[in-house]
């Protein structure tokens, strides 16, 4: 590790001298011990491509290593990072139902807009296609992004109402999956599981989907998940992309009690005889996370069926080890106080060490895609969630340069200060 740091510094010195006219000036070592202070990061210019490092580490050619992006990232200074380091892209928001197909304004009962709006999502899909980057689909069904036209129907007649919901689901899923047939994995349903640990009813009930399906006396509210997977698999059958994976995506699968709920839902879909290809683990983690539980999340999915795959879909590592109450309250306290613009090195070092352990845990055949929820620390949802506060959760810093977290992932010989 120290060897690596010194090597990086030596390279930088060589490059500096070369830039000054052939290296014929005598090299004056810096004061002190002649080497960089131990806290010095290797030069950004020496950074290998993340995608190449991970493909080599995992022994998988073109392993999908992704980032969630907004359309702007295809045009601004994010684009070179995407091109160099990432082999997969997810739309951070552009493919969510409220963005693609909102209500038609001023309609009651709600009607869908005359046609879906693919403008923003197309920017991302076109950038991916033009640059040989794979596209992950996020997400078809999510309680937080559900336009109300989806739920309109005859509430007094269960059969009719179910038929209406099915028709809306089919209309939406057919349009969106059909627009992006190249997607290699869809989060068909996002966040269907309840947070109540080991719940008898594994579904979250604060979902318009759950509540709509509760109108059918004979059906448990969670059956919308089965319907969504059934329709998605039928639509997949019409696209010439049989390798497309249909996934159930959720957060906190690293917590055993939440994980049990997610797995029950997977089992419900399987028991219904409906195709499901795997589980997306969001892994919005924080420093101090237990990597053994990350591995346990993968093995639990593997144990259901060896045909199921695991995707890491929204990885980030908050620099705050907040208590659970922080997420419910969204205030400081109980959320930890803001570090401000310059978080302590000790926390960034802790984060880097965790990132290394995580990517070691991701090195198993069932894990077939890893995506971060952002590119660089200049743009992250964690600056506003669960509370407005500076966060630094990704592998690249606010200047888009590699952090210690990047170096620990790509270089096993590097040690953090
Ligand atoms: C987040 C986006 O990052 C934010 O920009 C948006 O305001 C809310 O959604 N789990 C998910 C993602 O599945 O879709 C969420 O993305 C983060 C949590």
DSSP string spanning 131-144?
TT-EEEEEEEEETT
Mean pLDDT of the 345-354 span: 98
pLDDT digits (tens, 9 = 90+) for 133-154: 999 999 999 999 999 999 999 9
Query: Above 50 in pLDDT, residue 4?
Result: no
Task: Choose between 287 and 2: higher pLDDT.
Answer: 287
For ligand 1, mutation pick of 93, 195, 283, 318 (most atoms within 8 Å of CB)? 93
pLDDT digits (tens, 9 = 90+) for 260-305: 999 999 999 999 999 999 999 999 999 999 999 999 999 999 999 9
The pTM for the full model equals 0.91
Q: Is 339 in the pocket of ligand 1 (CB under 6 A)?
A: no
Other beta carbons within 10 angstroms of residue 12's beta carbon come to 17
In percent, how much of the chain has pLDDT > 70?
A: 91
Where along the chain do its domains lie?
A: 9-90+105-137+235-410
Are 414 and 39 contacting, i.e. CB atoms less than 8 angstroms apart? no
Residue of 92, 94, 89 whose CA lies nearest to 121: 94
For residues 300 and 295, give the distance between their C-alpha atoms in angstroms, rounded to a whole number. 9
- What tokens appear for 82 in the block? 């995407």
Q: Whose CA is nearest to atom 4 of ligand 1?
A: 381
Predicted local confidence at residue 39, as pLDDT: 67
- CATH class for domain 9-90+105-137+235-410? alpha beta
Please provide the average confidence, as pLDDT, over all residues in the chain: 92
Mean pLDDT of the 306-312 span: 98
Other beta carbons within 10 angstroms of residue 183's beta carbon come to 23
Query: Above 80 in pLDDT, residue 258?
Result: yes
Residue of 363, 351, 352, 366 whose CA lies nearest to 411: 352
Please report which helix (H) or strand (E) contains residue 279, including its range. strand 278-281
Our answer to whether residue 223 is catalytic in this structure is no
> What residues form DSSP beta bridges with 286?
318
Please report which helix (H) or strand (E) contains residue 91, including its range. strand 88-91
Mean pLDDT of the 8-21 span: 34
For residues 20 and 14, give the distance between their C-alpha atoms in angstroms, rounded to a whole number. 10
Our answer to whether residue 191 is catalytic in this structure is yes
Residue 78 pLDDT grade (very low, low, confident, very high; cuts 50, 70, 90): very high
């Amino acid at each position: 590790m120290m060897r690596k740091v010194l090597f990086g510094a030596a390279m930088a010195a060589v490059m500096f001298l070369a830039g000054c006219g052939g290296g014929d000036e005598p090299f004056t070592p810096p004061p002190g011990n002649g080497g960089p202070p131990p806290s010095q990061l290797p030069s950004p210019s020496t950074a290998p491509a993340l995608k190449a490092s991970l493909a080599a580490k995992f022994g998988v050619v073109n392993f999908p290593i992704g980032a969630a992006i907004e359309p702007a990232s295809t045009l601004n200074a994010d684009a070179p990072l995407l091109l160099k380091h990432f082999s997969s892209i997810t739309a951070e928001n552009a493919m969510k139902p409220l963005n693609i197909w909102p209500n038609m304004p001023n309609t009651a009962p709600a009607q869908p807009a005359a046609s879906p709006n693919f403008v923003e999502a197309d920017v991302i899909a076109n950038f991916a296609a033009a640059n040989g980057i794979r596209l992950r689909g996020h997400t078809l069904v999510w309680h937080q992004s559900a336009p109300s036209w989806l739920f309109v129907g005859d509430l007094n007649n269960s059969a009719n109402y179910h038929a209406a919901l099915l028709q809306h689901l089919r209309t939406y899923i057919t349009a969106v999956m059909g627009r992006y047939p190249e997607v290699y994995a869809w989060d068909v349903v996002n966040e269907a599981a309840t947070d109540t640990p080991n719940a008898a009813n594994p579904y979250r009930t604060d979902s318009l989907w759950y509540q709509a399906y509760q109108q059918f006396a004979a059906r448990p509210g969670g059956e919308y998940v089965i319907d969504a997977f059934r329709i998605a698999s039928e639509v997949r059958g019409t696209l010439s992309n049989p390798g497309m994976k249909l996934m159930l995506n959720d957060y906190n699968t690293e917590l055993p009690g939440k994980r049990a709920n997610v797995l029950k839902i997977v089992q419900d879909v399987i028991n219904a005889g409906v195709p499901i290809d795997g589980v997306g683990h969001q892994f919005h983690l924080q420093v101090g996370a237990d990597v053994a539980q990350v591995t346990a999340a993968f093995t639990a999915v593997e144990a259901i069926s060896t045909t199921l795959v695991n995707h890491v879909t929204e990885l980030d590592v908050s620099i705050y080890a907040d208590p659970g109450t922080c997420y419910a309250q969204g205030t400081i306290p109980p959320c930890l106080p803001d570090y401000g613009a310059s978080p302590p090195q000790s926390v960034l070092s802790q984060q880097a060490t965790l990132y290394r352990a995580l990517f070691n845990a991701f090195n198993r055949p069932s894990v077939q895609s890893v995506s971060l929820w952002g590119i660089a620390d200049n743009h992250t949802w964690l600056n506003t969630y669960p509370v407005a506060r500076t966060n630094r959760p990704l592998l690249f810093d606010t200047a888009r340069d590699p952090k210690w977290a990047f170096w620990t992932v790509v270089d096993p010989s590097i040690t953090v200060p």
